[in-house]
Chains A and B, each alone.
Chain A
Amino acid sequence: MSHGSIGRNLFTAGPRRRGSLAAGGIGEYRDPGLELYRFHLRLWAAAAIVLAAFAVLLGRFAYLQVVQHGYYSTKAEDNRISVVPVPPNRGLILDRNGVVLARNDSAYTLEVDPRRVGDLDALIDEIATVVEIQPRDRKRFRKLLDETKGADSLPIKTRLGDEEVARFAAQAFRFPAVEIKARLYRHYPFGAVGSHVLGYIGRITERDLERLEADGVAANYKGTDFIGKTGVEQSYERELHGVTGSARVEIDANGRGVRTLSSVPPVAGNALQLTLDIRLQQVAERAFGDYRGALVAIEPATGGVLAFVSKPGYDPNLFVEGIDPQSWDALNSDPDRPLNNRALTGAYPPGSTFKPFMALMALELGKRTPDFTISDPGFFSLPGQTHRYRDWKVGGHGAVNLHKSIVISCDTYYYGLANDTDIDRLHAFLSQFSFGARTGIDVKGEHTGLLPSRKWKMQRFKQRWFAGDSISVGIGQGYNLATPLQLAHATNVLANNGVVYRPHLVREVVDARSGERRAIEPEPIATLKLNPRWISLVKTAMVDVTRPGGTAARAGAGAGYTFAGKTGTAQVIAIKQTEKYDEKKIDERHRDHALFIAFAPAEAPRIALAVLVENGGHGSATAAPIARIVLDYYLLGKLPDRPPALDPTAEDEG
Chain B
Amino acid sequence: MIARLWQRFTANVDGPLFGVVALVVTLGLFTLYSAVNENPARLTAQLTNIAVALAAMWLVAQVPPQTLMRLAVPAYLVGLALLVAVALYGDVVNGARRWLHVGVTRFQPSEMMKIAVPLMLAWYFHKNEATLRVRDYAIAAVLLVLPTALIARQPDLGTAVLVLAAGFYVIFLAGLSWRILAGLAVAGLASMPLAWSFLHDYQRQRILTLLDPSSDPLGAGYHTIQSTIAVGSGGLAGKGWLNGTQTHLEFIPERHTDFIFAVFSEEFGLAGNAVLLALYVALIGRGLVIAARAPTLFARLTAGAISLIFFTYAFVNMGMVSGMLPVVGVPLPFVSYGGTALVTLFLGIGILMGISRHRKLVQT
Flag whether A252 is at the interface (Cβ < 8 A): yes
Flag whether A339 is at the interface (Cβ < 8 A): no
Q: Which of A36-44, A225-233, A354-362, A411-419 lies at the binding interface?
A: A36-44
Flag whether A254 is at the interface (Cβ < 8 A): yes
Contact yes or no, A65 B234, CB < 8 A: yes
- Which residues of the partner chain A approach B297 to less than 8 Å between Cβ atoms? 35, 39
Flag whether A51 is at the interface (Cβ < 8 A): yes
Contact yes or no, B322 A46, CB < 8 A: no
Provided the pairs A51-B281, A65-B270, A71-B232 are in contact, do residues A5 and B308 lie with their beta carbons within 8 angstroms? no
Bound CA–CA A79/B218 (angstroms): 13
Provided the pairs A46-B172, A61-B265, A80-B249 are in contact, do residues A69 and B235 lie with their beta carbons within 8 angstroms? yes
- Which residues of the partner chain B approach A25 to less than 8 Å between Cβ atoms? 132, 175
Contact yes or no, A58 B286, CB < 8 A: no
Provided the pairs A26-B133, A61-B322 are in contact, do residues A76 and B288 lie with their beta carbons within 8 angstroms? no
Bound CA–CA A76/B137 (angstroms): 50
Within 8 A of A (CB), among B243-288: 245-246, 249-251, 265, 269-270, 273-274, 277, 280-282, 284-286, 288
Q: Which residue of B lies closest to A22 (CB)?
A: B177
Contact yes or no, B134 A40, CB < 8 A: no
Within 8 A of B (CB), among A54-113: 54, 56-58, 60-62, 64-66, 68-69, 71-73, 75-77, 79-80
- Which residues of the partner chain A approach B293 to less than 8 Å between Cβ atoms? 5
Flag whether B29 is at the interface (Cβ < 8 A): no
Provided the pairs A61-B270, A72-B228, A73-B233 are in contact, do residues A43 and B180 lie with their beta carbons within 8 angstroms? no
Provided the pairs A26-B132, A50-B281, A53-B315 are in contact, do residues A65 and B273 lie with their beta carbons within 8 angstroms? yes
Flag whether A258 is at the interface (Cβ < 8 A): yes
Bound CA–CA A56/B311 (angstroms): 13
Nearest-Cβ distance from residue B249 to partner chain A, whole angstroms: 4
The interface size of chain B toward A, counting residues with CB under 8 Å, comes to 58
Flag whether B146 is at the interface (Cβ < 8 A): no
Within 8 A of A (CB), among B106-149: 129-130, 132-134, 137
Residue in contact with A75 in the complex, picked from B233, B285, B288, CB distance below 8 Å: B233
Contact yes or no, A65 B292, CB < 8 A: no
Nearest-Cβ distance from residue B177 to partner chain A, whole angstroms: 4
Contact yes or no, A57 B318, CB < 8 A: yes
Provided the pairs A64-B228, A254-B250, A258-B249 are in contact, do residues A24 and B233 lie with their beta carbons within 8 angstroms? no
Flag whether B43 is at the interface (Cβ < 8 A): no
Flag whether B152 is at the interface (Cβ < 8 A): no
Nearest-Cβ distance from residue B193 to partner chain A, whole angstroms: 25
Provided the pairs A43-B288, A57-B322 are in contact, do residues A23 and B304 lie with their beta carbons within 8 angstroms? no
Bound CA–CA A251/B246 (angstroms): 11
Q: Which residue of B lies closest to A60 (CB)?
A: B322
Contact yes or no, A1 B286, CB < 8 A: yes
- Which residues of the partner chain A approach B179 to less than 8 Å between Cβ atoms? 22-23
Flag whether B56 is at the interface (Cβ < 8 A): no
Contact yes or no, B169 A46, CB < 8 A: yes
Contact yes or no, B285 A3, CB < 8 A: yes
Within 8 A of B (CB), among A242-296: 250-254, 258
Flag whether B229 is at the interface (Cβ < 8 A): yes
Q: Which residue of A lies closest to B229 (CB)?
A: A75
Flag whether B22 is at the interface (Cβ < 8 A): no
Contact yes or no, A61 B245, CB < 8 A: no
Please tell me the size bucket of the interface on A: 35 or more
Contact yes or no, B232 A73, CB < 8 A: yes
Residue in contact with A58 in the complex, picked from B250, B277, B292, B323, CB distance below 8 Å: B277
Flag whether B51 is at the interface (Cβ < 8 A): no
Contact yes or no, B130 A30, CB < 8 A: yes
Contact yes or no, A57 B288, CB < 8 A: no
- Which residues of the partner chain A approach B277 to less than 8 Å between Cβ atoms? 54, 57-58
Flag whether A9 is at the interface (Cβ < 8 A): yes
Flag whether A6 is at the interface (Cβ < 8 A): yes
- Which residues of the partner chain B approach A58 to less than 8 Å between Cβ atoms? 273-274, 277
Contact with A along B290-303 (1 / 0, CB 8 A): 01110001001000
Flag whether A171 is at the interface (Cβ < 8 A): no
Bound CA–CA A40/B289 (angstroms): 10
- Which residues of the partner chain A approach B16 to less than 8 Å between Cβ atoms? 1
- Which residues of the partner chain B approach A385 to less than 8 Å between Cβ atoms? none
Contact yes or no, B249 A69, CB < 8 A: no
Contact yes or no, A65 B281, CB < 8 A: no
Contact yes or no, B285 A47, CB < 8 A: yes
Nearest-Cβ distance from residue B311 to partner chain A, whole angstroms: 5
Residue in contact with A69 in the complex, picked from B233, B304, B323, CB distance below 8 Å: B233
Contact yes or no, A61 B132, CB < 8 A: no
Within 8 A of A (CB), among B312-360: 315, 318-319, 322-324
Bound CA–CA A4/B289 (angstroms): 8
Q: Which residue of A lies closest to B280 (CB)?
A: A54
Contact yes or no, B229 A72, CB < 8 A: yes
Q: Which residue of A lies closest to B286 (CB)?
A: A1
Q: Can you list 10 A-B pairs with a CB-CB distance of less than 8 A? A: A24-B133, A43-B304, A46-B173, A47-B285, A61-B273, A64-B323, A76-B246, A79-B226, A80-B245, A253-B250
Besides A23-B179, A72-B228, 8 more A-B contacts (Cβ < 8 Å) are A39-B304, A43-B288, A58-B274, A60-B319, A61-B273, A62-B270, A73-B232, A252-B249
